[in-house]
Copies of this chain bind each other. A is one copy, B any other.
Amino acid sequence: MLDELQIIDLFFEKSEVPVDDCAYLPETSQIITGDSMVENTHFRLDWHPPELLARKLFQSNLSDVAAGGGDPQWCLLQMGLPGNAEEQFLKRFAAAFREECKENRCKLIGGDTFRNTTYIFSLTMAGRVRRPLQRRAHPGDAIYMTGTAGLSLAGMKHLTGEMKLTGSLQKRALERHLAPVARLDLARKLREMPDLHGMMDLSDGLLQDLERFARAAGQRFHLHLHSIPCDDELLPLMPALERAISGEEYELVFCAPAGLQQAPGFDITQIGRVITGPPGLTVFEDSSEGKIVIPESRGFEHF
């Protein structure tokens, strides 16, 4: 069986394989993205009430649009529904989805429904863009991320019983995993920085996402594990390498000259640097780059 990248290769000429989650269309100054959520692959009905499913579907696509430098414009929803789909489930899903569209000024323009054994939600979203933010980086850049990493994985592990969280940490972890919010506001600030070279969103974990970013940019990325910012309470409970494989965080990762400072409402941390070298990712224990770490797993793959 082919993996996702091999399948993508089948559909494109070598020179045209897309390297970004969003496609940039200069003709109409748009970026377009499409992301699906499939029952038992991406979500479980017993964990995800329909409201949260609708929000997560919307926000995961919005996150791509935000990271691409866009403002949401319209979306199109294709849904596979089982024969026993309940009216209440659909009503609640639709109401939450409409609210997301309204809050984010994104017009639902159409869609399609079809019968399937399980629920499938495929969304296509378009965003208006003045300056597309693609996966570019210059040697010498610092690699930054917004917010923290780890809470989403912790939330999932709490749900599966692998971790036992309590109190406000449990609440934050479950919220992050079940009801993530795209960093559209921060993306809007970042895209105004003239020397921001490239950006993407953190959806599959830093190890996978930075590897793709580095290859798309044609540069070598060095990740410093101990620099990955983490929720204070989670920090002692989750090894740095696990923070690096936590996906569905929907934080932003970007490359810009070193020296950016955190500030109120500008919640960023340097987690590595870009050097000249064969495209790809090297993982170091910390910013001294004294010890290379070879991860056993790159994290969860949905396909």
Contact = CB atoms under 8 A, between A and B. Distances in A.
Interface in A118-146: 118, 120, 122, 124
Give the number of copies in the complex.
Answer: 2
A298 B18 CA distance: 43
Contacts of A30: 28
Contact of A74 (B23, B35, B76, B117): B23
Contact of A77 (B2, B11, B76): B11
A76 B124 contact: yes
A118 B115 CA distance: 12
A18 B73 CA distance: 17
Contact of A25 (B8, B74, B115, B302): B74
Contact of A90 (B10, B97, B112, B122): B10
Interface string A77-110: 1111101110100110011011000000000111
Contact of A91 (B8, B10, B25): B10
Assign chain A's interface to a size class. 35 or more
A114 interface: yes
Contacts of A35: 112
Given A4-B113, A116-B118, 17 more contacts: A1-B84, A8-B111, A10-B91, A12-B98, A22-B110, A33-B110, A34-B76, A34-B78, A34-B112, A36-B114, A38-B114, A38-B115, A41-B115, A78-B124, A114-B302, A115-B302, A120-B120
Interface of A: 1-2, 4, 7-8, 10-12, 18, 21-23, 25, 27-28, 30, 32-36, 38, 41-42, 73-74, 76-81, 83-85, 87, 90-91, 94-95, 97-98, 108-118, 120, 122, 124, 302-303
